[in-house]
Structure 1
Amino acid sequence: MGTAKQSLEMAKGIQLGSIALLHALQSQLHSVVVVVRKDDLLEWLSEEVLTYVESGRCRFAVCAEAELGMAHSLKSGIQAAGQTNVEGIMVMLADQPFIEGEMLTRLIDTFGSEADYDFVASGDKGVPKPPVILGRRMWPAAVSLEGDAGARTLFQLPLYRGQIVEEEDSLRFMDIDTEERYQEARKIYSRKYMLT
């Protein structure tokens, strides 16, 4: 996009980066780690998010190699979150404004329902997409990924067992990668969530 996507305004006073983050913070997740670039001034954080930061439920991990691809941000997040005593880490993207809380709840409940799951992924017509939950056994492989490779490449390996939780509304997977997509998402967001 040529700009910091987190700061893009979806509606007056609502920045893209805070939308999915708030859903994560309002979910059953124990804590939330936000992976940011080293030069991120965090001006996109909403006042509501800042209250979670102050309480310690939300913290930040700086990824010095973010420009090298998604795998480096994933590695930073797993290393930071993996320092706590958790069995799974949910991976979300900041540029997906139509992620909703019940979607996260379904993933958490599915992961918790089967002790042997290595992953649970959201499904878009059978294709695994973020948000996803990675179990502890997958973390070493996930942190060894390079460039723009995401964890999806690991789901096809016979070594890991998991489940895809289908989402009927493909809008939830819309991410903001171009100016055109941003303008389209703003219109949808305004119609869907804002009072007119």
Structure 2
Amino acid sequence: MSRPLKITGICLAAGFSRRMGAPKLRQLLPDGTPLGASAVRAMAGAGLQRLLVVVREDDDCSWLPGASGEAAGKTAVEVVLCRDASLGMAHSLRCGLAAAADGAGGEPPDAVLVVLADQPLVDAGLLARLADVLHGHPELDWAACGLQGVPMPPAIMRGSMFSALARLEGDRGARQLFAGAGFRGEMLADVAESSLYDVDTPEDLEMIAQTWLNG
């Protein structure tokens, strides 16, 4: 039996909330918790070796679970400051990857699991499914959620992709690598669309609230 993969989670939380008009990760969900805390909690319960949350330098992280003494889950949260956050999502991912590459005890992980902090309906079960795909298929470089045939975050990427991820630029994330011929992957095609909702506008937040209450 092969050993479990050592997976580091990278939660991308360094956006500027321009379309929201206010810091979106602090907006409250129907249960009264900050929007950004939900994805972090899901990651903390997904059996990860480490959990890195990439934020801007001016973020006080008051939205993070644990900021008020509440435990996030089984995996401790490590905050990574991204000085290049204004250059786009790829640079936030690169900051997280650089921190992950240091590894626990100096040893890099086998894979990184990337989640957007503004995806509050992601749950630990979905994240564990992505990890299981790579564990069961060592020939694959990545696994992602799929929506109408398009790979979406959350996504997990094996160490074979780290060099390519570290060269990404601008506001596009890892998805641009999935379409290339250089890496092999698989999409989970049976994921509910609502699980992948992200929040960019007040209207998105209202839709999330309604889905939350109806779920």
TM-score (norm 1): 0.90
Which residue number corresponds to residue 93 of structure 2? 74
Match of 1:51 in 2: 71
Query: How far does residue 138 in structure 1 lie from its aligned partner after superposition?
Result: 0.9
Displacement of 1:124: 1.2
Structure 2 equivalent of residue 40 of structure 1: 59
Deviations 1:136-172 (A, max 9, x none): 1111111211111110000111111111122341111
Question: How far apart are the structure 2 equivalents of 1:74 and 1:105?
Answer: 20
Q: Which moved more, 1:8-17 or 1:145-154?
A: 8-17
Q: Distance in 2 between matches of 1:50 and 1:24?
A: 15
For structure 1, the 5+ residue unaligned runs are none
AA in 2 matched with 1:17: G
Report the AA paired with residue 75 of structure 1: R
User: How far apart are 1:50 and its partner, in Å?
Assistant: 4.9
CA offsets 1:57-93 (integer angstroms, 9 cap, x no match): 2201101111221111110111111211311000000
Q: Is the 8 A contact 1:18 1:49 kept in 2?
A: no
For 1:38, the aligned partner's letter is E
Structure with a larger share of its residues in helix: 1
Offset of residue 51 of structure 1? 3.0
User: Residue 55 of structure 2 contacts residue 81 of structure 2 at CA under 8 Å; is this kept in 1?
Assistant: yes
When the two structures are aligned, how many residues end up with a matched partner? 191
Q: Determine if the alignment matches structure 1 residue 184 to structure 2 residue 207.
A: yes
Scaled by the length of structure 2, the TM-score of the pair is 0.83
Q: Which amino acid aligns with 1:10?
A: L
- RMSD over aligned CA atoms reads 1.9
Displacement of 1:49 in angstroms is 7.8
The 5 A counterparts of 1:1-196 are: 1-47=20-66, 50-52=70-72, 57-84=76-103, 85-192=108-215
Answer with 163-172 or 149-158: which moved more: 163-172
Q: Is the 8 A contact 1:52 1:58 kept in 2?
A: yes
Aligned identity (percent) is 34
Shift of 1:46: 2.8
Deviates more, 1:4-13 or 1:35-44: 4-13
8 Å contact from structure 1 (residues 25, 32) kept in 2: yes
